Homo-oligomer: A and B are copies of this chain.
Amino acid sequence: MVLDMSVRVLSKGEQTRERILDITQDAVLHKGFAGTSLDEIICEAGITKSGFFYHFKDKNDLGKALLLRYLEQEAQLFDDLLRRADELSDDPLHSFLIFLKLFADVMADMPNGHPGCIVASYVYQDHMFSQDVRDLTAFDMLRWRKRFGERLQLIAQRYPPRIDVDLEAMADMLTAIADGGIILSKSLHDPSLLPKQILLYRAFVQRVFVSD
C-alpha cells in the first residue's frame, strides 16, 4: 500500500518551506485564508517574520504555493490509483470501479479523515486571491472533468448506458461527491461518511452501465 515515490532529499530551505506549507494548510482548512495569521504560522514553524518573507514574497504568494502543492499531491494520488486500477483490469468499466473502490479505501484509511479540500476552501474565498490563483481552481475542475469523462466515454462505448445520462455531468459528479462528502465528514466529525459517498457513486456508475 505504501509506495515511496520520489523521496529525494530536501535541502534545509526546502524543508522549512514545506513545514510552513504544512502549518498553513492545517490552519487554512480550519480558519480560512484571511483568518490564518502569519504570526501564528511563523510561531509554529519556529522562525521569524524575516525568515518567512525569505520564502514567500507575500501572503497571496503563500496561498498560491499552497494551492499548487495541493493540486500536485492530489494529481499524484489519482494518477497512482488509476494506474493501479488499470493494472488490475483491462476492461474500462471494471478498472473504473476498482479505482473508485481504491479511492474509497484510501479515504477510509486516513486516521482523522480527509483534512479538507483546498480547492473548495478557495472557491468560498475567491475574492481573497489574485486572478491567476482563481484560474488554477477552475482549471483543476476541468482537468478532473476531462480525466473522468474520457474514462466514462470508453465505458459507454462497450457498455451502452441503461439510462440517458450526460457523461460530462457524471464526471463532474465525482468531484461534487468528493467535495460534498468532505463537507459532510467535517461537519459531523465522521470520517466514514466520505468513503460511503464514494461507494454510492460507484454503485450509481455500476447501475448506469450494467443491467439488473
Interface residues in chain A, defined as those with a beta carbon under 8 Å from any beta carbon in chain B: 29-35, 116, 119-121, 123-128, 137-138, 141-142, 162-163, 165-166, 169-170, 172-173, 175-181, 183-184, 186-189, 193, 196-197, 200, 203-204, 206-208, 211-212
As for how many copies of this chain the complex holds, the number is 2
Query: Which B-chain residue is minimally distant from A207 (CB atoms)?
Result: B207
Closest B residue by C-beta to A168:
B196
* Cβ–Cβ < 8 Å partners of A177 in chain B: 173, 176-177, 180
Which residues in B have their C-beta under 8 angstroms from that of A196?
166, 169, 172
> Which residues of the partner chain B approach A119 to less than 8 Å between Cβ atoms?
183, 187
What residues on B are CB-neighbors of A175 within 8 Å?
A: 180, 184
Task: Write the chain B residue with the least CB distance to A29.
Answer: B124
**Further pairs besides A169-B196, A175-B184: 16, Cβ < 8 Å:** A31-B127, A32-B34, A33-B35, A34-B34, A35-B127, A120-B120, A123-B183, A124-B183, A142-B188, A165-B203, A166-B196, A169-B197, A172-B196, A176-B176, A176-B184, A179-B179
Do residues A188 and B125 form an inter-chain contact, with CB atoms below 8 A? no
Query: Which of A184, A211, A212 has the most chain B CB within a 10 Å cutoff?
Result: A184
Contacts of A162 on B, CB cut-off 8 Å? Answer: 207, 212
Residues of B within 8 A of A170 (CB): 200
Chain B residues near A128 (CB-CB < 8 A): 31-32, 35
Q: A9 vs B127: C-alpha distance in the bound complex, in angstroms?
A: 34
How far apart are the CA atoms of A170 and B203 in the complex, in Å? 11
Residues of chain B lying within 8 A (CB to CB) of residue A34: 31-32, 34-35
CB distance from A160 to the nearest CB of B (A): 12
In the assembled complex, the Cα of A119 lies from the Cα of B183 at a distance in Å of 9
Q: How far is the CB of A163 from chain B (nearest CB, A)?
A: 6
A208 vs chain B, min Cβ distance (A): 7
